[in-house]
Amino acid sequence: MIFLTSNSQRTFFLSEEWLTSINIGATTFYGDFTDKSNRFFSNTPFSKFFYQDRQAMLSYTLEKKINIYFGVKGFISYGNIKSTKESEKAYFNAHLFEYSLNGTVDFTNLFIGYDRYRDWSIYGYVGIGFTESRTWKYSMNTGKIIGTNGFGVPKKEGGKYVPMTETVVPLGLGFRYNISKQFALNAEVSLHPIRTDKLDATISNAAKMEGYGLISVGVDYNFTLPDHWQIINRNPRYNGKSTDPAIKEFNKRKHVVMKTKAYNKASKHRHKTKRRRR
């Protein structure tokens, strides 16, 4: 059952509920150029295949929660992808940069109900973006390069080679645990299907799309933007000050009067009179 109560009307202001995260994790390749022996879910951490061809990836996200259920976030990552195919005695290394825009959903609030004091949450996301990659394919026997991809013709003479740019549709699932009001720890697993058959520098009919999986851990930081970022504030905070010149002058005179001995004496008299009446 999905709990859509009156809390579903709780929409956060522009300056509220921002989240930034830094994660580091390990990648695995999905495509035709692999022995499929190092899959995350087909091996345990105690198996030697679990660590085969693992490469590091660093990611950064900036998220804005729209309400207690949904949000939107930008995702940027950079890292390496590696895969080996023993039958062909070859392997490849790829450098990949990804940027995407994703919609997020808080499954905990959606299915269990909203609780502002809950320390943990389970969330998911899906989006669309682009990847830029370069790939080098090597022979296991000689160690020499036998294929490349992502070295397009430079846009201008003497410029850098153009990497391969393709569409990616990232989707993931994560767990977050709050360690304080502002900081939290997270763990995520995600898939990144890429619309290409050239990521492994090998063209075949076995797979029209390739991509990678990512398991990562990271740190979240929750923050609020300054008040001047607010476009509409339905509940403005009154600080007791006015911008009206006449009211400013009145408050200034009132402040001077309240400092006189006569005012302090009269104030004490009123206070004693109230106590006698009680």
Task: Give backbone dihedrals phi and psi of 198, rounded to 5 degrees, phi first.
Answer: -115, 5
- Domain containing 97 — which CATH number? 2.40.160.20
Q: Using pLDDT thresholds of 50, 70 and 90, give the confidence band for residue 263.
A: low
Domain assignment of residue 236, yes or no: no
Please report the pLDDT score of residue 1 as a whole number.
47
89, 116, 259, 261 from 264: Cα distances, Å? 94, 46, 7, 5
In this predicted structure, the answer to whether residue 186 has a pLDDT above a threshold of 50 is: yes
Are 122 and 178 in a shared domain? yes
Structural domain harbouring 257: 245-277
Domain assignment of residue 238, yes or no: no
Domain assignment of residue 239, yes or no: no
Whole-angstrom distance, CA of residue 50 vs CA of residue 132: 27
CB distance 81 to 29 below 8 Å: yes
Are 66 and 152 in a shared domain? yes
pLDDT digits (tens, 9 = 90+) for 38-63: 666 666 665 666 677 889 999 999 99
Number of domains in the chain: 2
Of 4-18, 113-127, 147-161, 183-197, give the lowest mean pLDDT range.
4-18
Whole-model pTM: value is 0.76
The helix or strand, by DSSP H or E, that contains position 277, with its residue range, turns out to be helix 261-277
Please give the share of the chain, as a percent, with pLDDT higher than 90.
54
Are 151 and 223 in a shared domain? yes
Task: Assign 278 to helix, strand or coil.
Answer: coil
